[in-house]
């Protein structure tokens, strides 16, 4: 859709409002709602001014003017507002020069796509994220100087097998690590997931499936792959739909990587491929029918995995999932079909479907920055022909200690990931896709989170140490 198409849609659908949406550095979708009568050709061409000083990690108050440029191709009618509203995703530019604002995540994704084309390596990069989430009925938390606590609950949670309900306890629940794939009544979220997927279809999103995931209260919907910036837009819509449909059902959805202990955490496997001249660049005659370029791409991902963690696993909570010794993709190894390494090559008969899957990211990530960083690491691998080494076709979870010690891991904390990003970020600066100012601003935000986490006593510490 172009600008004329947006104006026609506003008229034909009697749109009352236009919701102008953008994404902040941490990955949260933000919005401003404009009366549709004010949206004309000039509005769409010139953009919408706003105060950037109110967004964490952006401009200071004395230099706060910024401009939102609407992308007409991203327009969709919001299904959750009472008044008919058209939502449009935006990129951000400097109002005086019209240049892309270097800390805008969506602008970074657009620059990454432009860099791929300019490199001559490929024309388009495709991304297929698999973002899991949890659904709860109740969530309560407190962080005070004298109290730190949280509690979540859900009727279908494994811990409620002996709860005394007024109407009786029906007893059908997935056990711990038992949610993959029993039918109802054990899986009681069929209808809510179907409504989530149907809502996405009405928004024009390409979806394919839904199912209960391994952990108690954990779920996943399937997004069909798309180009980098478009797919980051789609993942923002994915989260938006899931949060709001859950809310309408009286439930609460979270994309926290590890909201409960003792069960699987939430990941976001990211499938990636590059095409050139209408042909899949990753299909070839090497290991697992991959091309040299695909193997070098993997080499780049494995080499830069620790600095990538700052974007792919950007929360302190992320590293409660990425723990060695459990079924988490912490080992910097790759394999065909084997799911125990941090990079996998999914099996497929068609060369067109040949792709690489990074298994360590999680949905706390800002999708624009996550996808862009992964692409830049992979392209660095191709440019420098980085050898990923031999594939690891053994079950890495069951290796003897002496073999396991020889396989490097991803980061164990957000603090480590930020230190790694500070030491290893030149590959992100190629083509001015990321900038030093942007990376420094992002790190400042993340250091705030690290300090908040590290400076706060944890309830388990009272259990361990109060009587020492």
Residue 384 is labelled as binding a ligand: no
371 vs 435: CA distance, rounded Å: 16
Note whether 331 and 217 are same-domain residues. Answer: yes
132 is in an annotated binding site: yes
Q: Report pLDDT digits (tens) over 132-173.
A: 999 999 999 999 999 999 999 999 999 999 999 999 999 999
Residue range of the domain that includes 147: 124-465
Mean pLDDT of the chain: 95
Consult the annotation and say whether 195 binds a ligand: no
CA 48/CA 43 separation, integer angstroms: 7
Find out whether 237 is annotated in a ligand binding site: no
Average pLDDT of the residues in 64-93: 96
Q: Could you tell me if 172 and 254 lie in one domain?
A: yes
The answer to the question of residue 132 being in a domain is yes
Same domain (yes/no): 172, 252: yes
Residue 199 is assigned to a structural domain of this protein? yes
Q: Is 130 annotated as a binding residue?
A: yes
Last residue of a domain, one of 101, 116, 148: 101
* 117 in a structural domain: no
Residue 114 lies in a domain: no
65/148 same-domain check: no
* 327 annotated ligand binder: yes
- 370 upstream amide cis, omega within 30 of 0: no
**Region of residue 100 (phi > 0: left; psi between -120 and 50: alpha; otherwise: beta):** beta
Query: What was the pLDDT predicted at 168?
Result: 95
**Does the annotation flag 321 for ligand binding?**
yes
Residues 334 and 217 in one domain: yes
Structurally, how many domains does the chain consist of?
A: 2
Is residue 377, in this structure, part of any structural domain at all? yes
Whether residue 184 has pLDDT greater than 90: yes
Same domain, 177 and 298: yes
User: Is 269 among the annotated ligand-binding positions?
Assistant: yes
Q: 193 with 75, same domain?
A: no
Q: Are 359 and 275 in a shared domain? A: yes
173 marked among binding-site residues: no
Domain identity same for 93 and 136: no
In this prediction, residues 448-453 reach a mean pLDDT of 98
| Structure confidence by residue, pLDDT tens digits, 232-291 | 999 999 999 999 999 999 999 999 999 999 999 999 999 999 999 999 999 999 999 999
Give the model's confidence band at 344: pLDDT under 50 very low, under 70 low, under 90 confident, else very high: very high
Residue 456 lies in a domain: yes
- Summarised one tens digit per residue, pLDDT across range 98-134 is 999 999 999 999 999 999 999 999 999 999 999 999 9
Would 111 be classed as within a structural domain?
A: no
Average pLDDT over residues 360-378: 98
State mean pLDDT over 414-434: 98
Residues 337 and 189 placed together within one structural domain of the fold: yes
Q: CATH no. for residue 132?
A: 3.30.590.10
Active site residues: 51, 130, 132, 213, 220, 269, 339, 357, 359
> Is 213 annotated as ligand-binding?
yes
290 and 184 both lie in a single domain: yes
Report the CATH number at residue 36.
Answer: 3.10.20.70
Mean pLDDT, residues 360-369: 98
Is residue 206 included in any domain, yes or no? Answer: yes
Q: How confident is the model at residue 325 (pLDDT cuts 50, 70, 90)?
A: low
The answer to whether the annotation marks 416 as part of a ligand binding site is no
């Amino acid at each position: 859709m172009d600008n004329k198409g947006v104006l026609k849609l506003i008229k034909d659908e009697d749109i009352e409002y236009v919701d102008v949406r953008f994404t902040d550095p941490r990955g949260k979708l933000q919005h401003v709602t404009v009366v549709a009568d004010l949206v004309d050709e000039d509005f769409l061409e010139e953009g919408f001014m706003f105060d950037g000083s109110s967004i964490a990690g952006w401009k200071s108050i004395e230099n706060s003017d910024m401009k939102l440029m609407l992308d007409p191709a991203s327009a969709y009618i919001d299904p959750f507002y009472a008044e008919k509203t058209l939502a449009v995703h935006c990129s951000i530019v400097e109002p005086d020069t019209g240049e892309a604002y270097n800390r805008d995540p969506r602008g970074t994704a657009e620059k990454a796509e432009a860099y791929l084309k300019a490199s001559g390596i490929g024309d388009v990069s495709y991304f297929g994220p698999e973002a899991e989430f949890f659904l709860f009925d109740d969530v309560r938390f407190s962080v005070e100087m004298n109290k730190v606590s949280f509690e979540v609950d859900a009727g279908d949670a494994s811990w409620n097998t002996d709860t005394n309900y007024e109407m009786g306890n029906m007893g059908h629940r997935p056990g711990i690590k038992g949610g993959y794939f029993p039918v109802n009544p054990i899986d009681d979220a069929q209808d809510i997931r179907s409504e989530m997927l149907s809502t996405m279809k009405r928004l024009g999103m390409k979806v394919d499936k839904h199912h209960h995931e391994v952990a108690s209260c954990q779920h996943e919907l399937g997004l069909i792959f798309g180009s980098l910036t478009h797919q980051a837009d789609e993942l923002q819509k994915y989260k938006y739909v899931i949060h709001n449909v859950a809310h309408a059902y009286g439930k609460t959805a979270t994309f926290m990587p590890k909201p409960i202990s003792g069960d699987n955490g939430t990941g976001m496997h990211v499938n990636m491929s590059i095409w050139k001249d209408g042909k899949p660049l990753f299909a070839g005659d090497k290991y697992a029918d991959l091309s040299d370029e695909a193997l070098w791409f993997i080499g780049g991902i494995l080499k830069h995995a620790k600095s990538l963690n700052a974007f792919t696993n950007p929360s302190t909570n992320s590293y409660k999932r990425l723990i060695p010794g459990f079924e988490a993709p912490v080992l910097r190894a790759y394999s065909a079909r084997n799911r125990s390494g941090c990079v996998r090559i999914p099996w497929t008969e068609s060369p067109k479907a040949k792709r690489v899957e990074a298994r360590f990211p999680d949905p706390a990530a800002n999708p624009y920055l996550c996808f862009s960083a992964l692409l830049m690491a992979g392209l660095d691998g191709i440019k420098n022909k980085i050898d990923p080494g031999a594939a690891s076709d053994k079950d890495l979870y069951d290796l003897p200690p002496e073999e396991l010690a020889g396989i490097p891991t991803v980061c164990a904390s957000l603090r480590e990931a930020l230190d790694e990003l500070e030491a290893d970020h030149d590959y992100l600066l190629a083509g001015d896709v990321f900038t030093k100012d942007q990376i420094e601003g992002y790190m400042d935000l993340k250091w705030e989170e690290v300090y908040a986490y590290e400076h706060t006593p944890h309830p388990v510490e009272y259990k361990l140490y109060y009587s020492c």
